[in-house]
Structure 1
Amino acid sequence: MIVQEAAEDPLSDVLAAMQLRVATSASLRAGNSWSIRFQVDRPKFNVVRHGGCWLVIPDEPPCRLAAGDCLVASRGTFVLTSDPDLVPIDAEAVFTRNPRIADVGGAIEVELLGGSVSFDETQADLMSNVLPPILLIAGGVPAADRMAWLLELLSVEWGSGLPGARAACDDIMRLLFVQTLRRCLGGETIELLPTPSWLSGLADASIAKAMTAIHAEPARHWRLQQLAAVAGQSRSTFAERFVRKVGVPPVEYATRWRMQLAARRLRSSTDSVTRVAESLGYLSDSSFSSAFTRAIGSPPGSYRRGQDAERRGRKGQDQISRSR
């Protein structure tokens, strides 16, 4: 049997660098008159299991959600309600007694299942403005069906207590993220992306060629002319288009991506700073340290120590959760 390596895939590279982890999984059951405001501090995925309700977001008309509809919220606030004219209460108050299940109102008329994701904060610029604040996927289409199935599976694993449940939940959340980003890349919702981002770049065929080349050879110190040739454009046309789509010049994007890979190596390996620097094309620790500090916000050694402390803290929290 011949095993071939997968082709270079910038989307997979970025998701790996972000270190996505499931943060919560919960269900909301409601009836009669009710209205709940959600503050989005991390991406949230929701599906209407049965029934229906209204979605209210600032400066937009109310939108009716029905069974099978999926809602992805990346930032800001939104309200789920039985009546758009009702005054909402904060979700934090609703989930105080049980963070996994909330019952509101009387007889259950609608049920929603949701999950949220966390990621390495040093990779926050990868997430910034990539998704629209609210993304709706109508029930009945394949993308919604897949996301609904994944959220159901996430709910089962999150509360199972079975060996490997945490790893399974993280993988499910990554799949949810992939489905959402594919939806945007498919062209149906790409116009909703409010600002330039790497995702907008991947939606452009010529820019995507250059980004794929950067991801295939991250240690190469790319020049503008080389990337323009890959994209099949003149230097001026390519540079202008890249900034318009991605938000930063091509060479700067290559440097930033190199630093994201460095951060990942520092988090996940015991390689020395010198070895990490050499693997990414740097001839001296000092030049690597300067570039890393500009991109990430702290020197390589300090970053690694901070990540080690955070990992120990998460391990302790997981042990406490399993003991409950």
Structure 2
Amino acid sequence: MIIQSPVSDPLSDILSLAGLRAACSVRLQAGGKWALRFRPIELKFNVVRRGECWLCLPDQPPRRLQAGDCFVVSRTPFVLASAPELEAVNASEVFGPSGASASFGVGDEVELLGGSVSLVSPGASDLLALLPPAIVIRAESGGASSFAWLLDELDREWQSALAGAYTMCNDLLRLIFVHALRHHISTADVADLAWLAGLREPAVANVMRAIHNAPDKSWKLAEMADIAGLSRSSFAALFKARVGQPPVEYATRWRMRVAAARLAAGTGSVATVAASLGYLSDAAFGVAFRRVHGKSPGQYRREVLQAERRD
């Protein structure tokens, strides 16, 4: 049997650097007139299992949610309510210390299931910056049923206290997040996708995969244009239009993000990390790293280790 290494996938690469950690799984039943305000830690996933309600975010029109609809909110306070004009109560006052489940209002005609996730690595902020404040996946879309099933499994694992349950929760949240990102990539306007828009353009996506597959390579514009099957000028214009950065800059920034992840892992010296990424001198590596991250590789590693000790 021949086992081949999978082709590099830029989205999977970014997710592997972000790090996902389960924060909680919650269930809400509500009825009558009600409104609750939530403040997500990082990301909050939800599915409306029964009934309907409104999702309200700052500076956005309210969105009506029905049974089967799913949504993801990123670092943005939001309100769930029976009507958008109602005054909201802080959800923390309703869920109490355990935070696992709550009932609010009169009756239980509405039920929601949710899970929260924190992104624990230094590269997490770059990933969150790609997301809109909220992604709504309607019940009639192809991805909603898988999303809802995963949240059901998350709830069962979180409540089970079985061996390996926390690891299962982390893996389920990773799958939920991937489903949400795929939906966003396939349905959003290109202008709203930042560099994710490159994954919808075959010529650009091919080059992105090549860059991610060889972070130790000092990429040249001509090499990337050949992979795309375009002239250098046409490729450079297309790549920047879709990704928001010139192709050589994107390759350099990815190289430095990989460098940051390896430094944070603490498994090798700065010189070892530099050599693993194709740098012939520590000085050249340091200049490139400082230009992207604003600090030297050694300082970056020290700050990450200090933060881990504090946590």
Same fold (TM over 0.5): yes
* 1:253–1:306 distance in 2 versus 1, CA, 3 Å: same
Q: What's 2:16 paired with?
A: 16
Q: What's 1:322 paired with?
A: none
Aligned-pair CA distance for 1:194: 2.3
* 1:15–1:120 distance in 2 versus 1, CA, 3 Å: same
Q: Deviations over 1:125-164 (max 9, x none)?
A: 5314422222111125441111111111212222333332
Q: What's 1:190 paired with?
A: 188
* 1:193–1:153 distance in 2 versus 1, CA, 3 Å: farther
TM-score of the superposed pair, with normalisation by structure 1: 0.87
Q: What's 1:211 paired with?
A: 208
Q: Deviations over 1:251-275 (max 9, x none)?
A: 1111111111112222335222111
* 1:165–1:267 distance in 2 versus 1, CA, 3 Å: farther
Indicate yes or no: 2:256 matched with 1:259.
yes
Which of structure 1's runs of 4+ aligned residues deviate more than 6 A?
A: none
Aligned-pair CA distance for 1:201: 1.2
Q: Deviations over 1:195-222 (max 9, x none)?
A: 522x111111111111111012111111
Number of positions where the alignment pairs a residue of Structure 1 with one of Structure 2: 311
Contact 1:129 1:195 in 2 (8 A): no
Q: State the alpha-carbon separation in 1 of the partners of residues 194 and 301 from structure 2.
A: 30
* SS of equivalent residue, structure 1 residue 3: coil
TM-score of the superposed pair, with normalisation by structure 2: 0.91
Matching residue's letter, 1:175: L
1:176-187 → structure 2 map (5 Å cutoff): 176-185=176-185, 187=186
* SS of equivalent residue, structure 1 residue 290: helix
* 1:312–1:165 distance in 2 versus 1, CA, 3 Å: farther
Q: What's 1:93 paired with?
A: 93
Indicate yes or no: 2:309 matched with 1:300.
no
* 1:164–1:267 distance in 2 versus 1, CA, 3 Å: farther
Q: State the alpha-carbon separation in 2 of the partners of residues 93 and 296 from structure 1.
A: 40
Indicate yes or no: 2:283 matched with 1:286.
yes
Q: What's 1:245 paired with?
A: 242
* 1:193–1:22 distance in 2 versus 1, CA, 3 Å: farther
Aligned-pair CA distance for 1:193: 5.6
* 1:98–1:12 distance in 2 versus 1, CA, 3 Å: same
Q: What's 1:234 paired with?
A: 231
Aligned-pair CA distance for 1:176: 0.9
Matching residue's letter, 1:119: L
Q: What's 1:36 paired with?
A: 36
Q: State the alpha-carbon separation in 1 of the partners of residues 189 and 23 from structure 2.
A: 29
- Any gaps of 5 or more consecutive residues in structure 1? 315-324
1:26-105 → structure 2 map (5 Å cutoff): 26-105=26-105
Aligned-pair CA distance for 1:32: 1.5
Q: What's 1:224 paired with?
A: 221
Contact 1:23 1:116 in 2 (8 A): yes
* 1:291–1:91 distance in 2 versus 1, CA, 3 Å: farther
* 1:66–1:92 distance in 2 versus 1, CA, 3 Å: same
Q: Deviations over 1:91-149 (max 9, x none)?
A: 33333433222221122221111112222452145314422222111125441111111
* SS of equivalent residue, structure 1 residue 159: helix
* 1:311–1:161 distance in 2 versus 1, CA, 3 Å: farther
Q: State the alpha-carbon separation in 2 of the partners of residues 276 and 78 from structure 1.
A: 42
Contact 1:38 1:79 in 2 (8 A): yes
Contact 1:190 1:200 in 2 (8 A): no
RMSD of Structure 2 on Structure 1 (CA): 2.2
* 1:99–1:51 distance in 2 versus 1, CA, 3 Å: same
Identity of aligned residues (%): 48
* SS of equivalent residue, structure 1 residue 158: helix
Matching residue's letter, 1:54: W
Contact 1:31 1:108 in 2 (8 A): yes
* 1:299–1:103 distance in 2 versus 1, CA, 3 Å: farther
* SS of equivalent residue, structure 2 residue 162: coil
Q: Deviations over 1:17-64 (max 9, x none)?
A: 111222232222211111112334522211012122122234444332
Q: State the alpha-carbon separation in 1 of the partners of residues 153 and 21 from structure 2.
A: 15
* SS of equivalent residue, structure 1 residue 151: helix
Matching residue's letter, 2:84: P
Q: State the alpha-carbon separation in 2 of the partners of residues 193 and 173 from structure 1.
A: 27
* SS of equivalent residue, structure 2 residue 252: helix
* 1:24–1:310 distance in 2 versus 1, CA, 3 Å: farther
Q: What's 1:165 paired with?
A: 165
